[in-house]
């Protein structure tokens, strides 16, 4: 079906961007994608242009809880096992994490930050917290807590609909 708006009408309105249709503007997935896109651009500009969000999440978790295997860490950072394996491989190639054999089970590899990894994490974490402050500027502590609670609730609900495996 062709839209009733004519080519002549479209040409008269000029090259401006069309308005976002209301059904998009009110769709949670569309808004989540907009937030994600804006966040990624902010991350690259203000935190780190080479360290991805998933890589940062893994560094953060290994920094705070060293000595776990990548399989058990995957669920704590909401990554599927194959993505987790790729993230850890890239971090290892950059010299940020190292895998050590579990003394109780040599087949199991435990993750630890290298000194370079710790330094990288600390610097990125400081910038990430500064970015969080910029992103939430103008929001009260109560509004921030409410937003985080709602986002966490939505994440859990959406993951229950399509679990990360």
Q: Where are the domains of the chain?
A: 52-150
Angle at 78 between CA 155 and CA 23, to 5 degrees: 35
Inform me whether the pLDDT recorded for 112 exceeds 80. yes
Angle at 126 between CA 150 and CA 98, to 5 degrees: 100
Percentage of residues in the chain with pLDDT exceeding 70?
Answer: 91
Q: Architecture of 52-150 per CATH? A: Orthogonal Bundle (1.10)
Which stretch of 12-16, 65-69, 153-157 has the lowest confidence by average pLDDT? 12-16
Q: What is the pLDDT of residue 134?
A: 97
Q: What is the pLDDT of residue 102?
A: 86
27 confidence band (pLDDT: 50, 70, 90): very high
Inform me whether the pLDDT recorded for 22 exceeds 60. yes
Alpha-helical segments (H) within the chain: 7-12, 22-25, 28-46, 53-64, 70-76, 81-93, 115-135, 141-161
Instruction: Give dist(CA 70, CA 163) in Å, integer.
Output: 18
């Amino acid at each position: 079906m062709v839209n009733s708006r004519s080519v002549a009408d479209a040409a008269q309105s000029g090259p401006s961007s069309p308005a976002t249709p209301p059904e998009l503007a009110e769709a949670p997935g569309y808004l989540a994608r907009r937030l994600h896109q804006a966040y990624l651009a902010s991350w690259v500009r203000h935190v780190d242009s080479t360290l991805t969000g998933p890589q940062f999440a893994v560094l953060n978790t290994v920094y705070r809880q060293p000595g776990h295997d990548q399989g058990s860490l995957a669920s704590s950072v909401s990554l599927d096992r194959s993505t987790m394996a790729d993230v850890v491989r890239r971090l290892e190639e950059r010299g940020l994490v190292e895998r050590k054999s579990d003394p109780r089970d040599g087949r199991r590899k435990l993750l630890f930050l290298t000194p370079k990894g710790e330094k990288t994490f600390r610097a990125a974490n400081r910038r990430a917290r500064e970015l969080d402050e910029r992103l939430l500027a103008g929001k009260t502590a109560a509004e921030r807590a409410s937003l985080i609670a709602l986002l966490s609730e939505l994440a859990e609900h959406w993951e229950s609909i399509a679990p990360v495996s």
